[in-house]
Amino acid sequence: MHDATLRSDLRAVSGHLSSLAADLLVLPTWDGDDLADIPELDVATAGALADARARSEWRGKAFATCLVAVADASWPARRVLLIGTGSAPESTAQIRRVAAAAMLEATSRRVASVAFCLREVNQTVEAAQAAAEGLTLGEFDGGSYKSDAEPHTVGNVLVARAGAASDSEQGAALEQAVARGRLLGACSNAAREMANEPGNTLTPTVFADRARQLAEGTTLTVDVLEQPQMEELGLGLLLGVARGSAEPPRLIVLKHEPDGAADAPVLGLVGKGITFDSGGISLKPPDSMELMKDDMAGGAAVMAAMRAISLLGVPIRVIGVVPATENLPGGRAIKPGDILRSADGQTVEVINTDAEGRLVLGDALWYAKRCGATHLVDVATLTGGCVVALGKITSGLFGAPNGWVEAVQRAAGIAGDRVWPLPVFEEYADQIRSDIADLKNTGGRAASPITAAMFLKAFVGETPWAHLDVAGTAWSEEARPDQPKGPSGVAVRTLVELACAHVRWAGIGA
């Protein structure tokens, strides 16, 4: 696959600051930091750093920056950028974020090459991986359709163990960590690229083509089910949502089946793939409806994660399922009050056609189980109620049993995706009981993210299952130091980390 999201050459090195071949040196700094581990830096800047500190220009506050010139002509670098991590210099998550912010800063300053320097306290393989992820995330450019764009590329990027002499064993571990971080960052950017596409260019058919492209160079197999196959399987919920659109639906299935993998566990990843959501007959308000092009962000996360899982050689079977369709108010569109029959035989009364994501996911979860999944995770921009509950910072996490939910939460924490568990007590299911069918597709405004999760729970049975509601986190409507406006790529790294951590959860639900 040609990866347009990789715009630079990124590699790992070790060495003193005076030897790093980069125009800009970036150093994380923190509250109370005195740069005692790199005393040569103040000398090389002819005391400019000390002056900046005396004037309070250099502080360790999170994302605060201080740029000074290097006066020593023997140094390849001409400038040094200090960037604050706050009060936690050893935080891997914060290293990822400041690395992304540093790349955005370097790009805006049109720097030719950058060295992100890991200080003594940060010189771990985890920090090196996080730095590579952040630097790669910082390369993403959302303005792909601007006719007058002049994007700048930072050509050479280094992740450096600052002040460390070259050591072959440590150097190999650093290189491996940086390569892994580069892959995860690139796959996150691939998901962002898809979520950024407008609905007229990323139709369900094109979305399926993107899955095939993501599989290039991997061992993944891709199977795309078209409407006749879905009708034969009885995927009535997915087909019902698709009825209002002239674009045909697709069920995209990616499989990672390494040689010698055991029959279990089999991780099933399911991602909502609504390529544009108008709300259907229950039409959304016009304000910000254009952002509904990202309603397939969960599906993009699953597809991009599957690429990384294959390239990392994760030794378990993993299945990715993405139900892809538009939700439009055409003449054949489903109406409030209609009854749909799911692939597993349950009947659903449609109360609100804008609650379509849970419909397509219900059939997709059934299909993932049919393919052999023993553990399930679904990712979806599902409910506005989750945004009300958790805002734009944290994704909602639901599921059962508790051990499986905790495994997903642990993976998200390592990956740098913030999640927070919400309850799925059985009493909530009362809100989605229909008078004339088995279920209704919405339980009203009260506890709406939870009742949406309860709807999905009805299709998983006793299979360990977790649901990530990323409605608030898939798209950033305001720029932050480490995240420009636009798609975030949320959940890609979480899904990969979960697959890699299979030894911790393989026995859950067995």
What is the C-alpha to C-alpha distance for residues 469 and 491, in angstroms, rounded to an integer? 10
Burial of 54 (0-12, 13-18, 19+ CB in 10 A): exposed
Q: Which residues pair with 377 in a beta bridge?
A: 269, 466
Number of neighbours of residue 234 by Cβ within 10 angstroms: 15
- Is residue 340 a contact partner of residue 359, using CB atoms and an 8 Å limit? yes
DSSP state of 294: G
Alpha-helical segments (H) within 295-443: 297-311, 357-370, 384-390, 402-415
What is the C-alpha to C-alpha distance for residues 393 and 375, in angstroms, rounded to an integer? 26
Q: What's the full length of the chain, in residues?
A: 510
Q: Are strands 439-440 and 347-349 parallel, antiparallel or unpaired?
A: parallel
What is the C-alpha to C-alpha distance for residues 251 and 256, in angstroms, rounded to an integer? 17
DSSP code string of 296-315: THHHHHHHHHHHHHHHTT-S
Considering 11, 109, 212, 284, which one is annotated as catalytic?
284
- Is residue 275 a contact partner of residue 294, using CB atoms and an 8 Å limit? no
φ/ψ of 58, rounded to 5, equals -105, 110
Considering 96, 307, 358, 493, which one is annotated as catalytic?
358
Active site residue 284: yes
On the CB side of 185, how many CA atoms lie within 13 Å of its CA? 29
Query: Is it true that the peptide bond before 481 is cis, omega within 30 degrees of 0?
Result: no
Distances (CA, A) of 199 to 118, 195, 196, 394: 41, 10, 9, 26
Buried b (16+ CB within 10 A) or exposed e, 166-195: eeeeebeebbebbbbbbbbbbbbbbbbbbb
What is the C-alpha to C-alpha distance for residues 418 and 60, in angstroms, rounded to an integer? 23
Buried b (16+ CB within 10 A) or exposed e, 1-10: eebebbbbeb
What is the C-alpha to C-alpha distance for residues 234 and 228, in angstroms, rounded to an integer? 10
Q: What is the largest CA-CA distance in the chain?
A: 80
- Is residue 382 a contact partner of residue 389, using CB atoms and an 8 Å limit? no
Q: Which residues are catalytic?
A: 284, 358
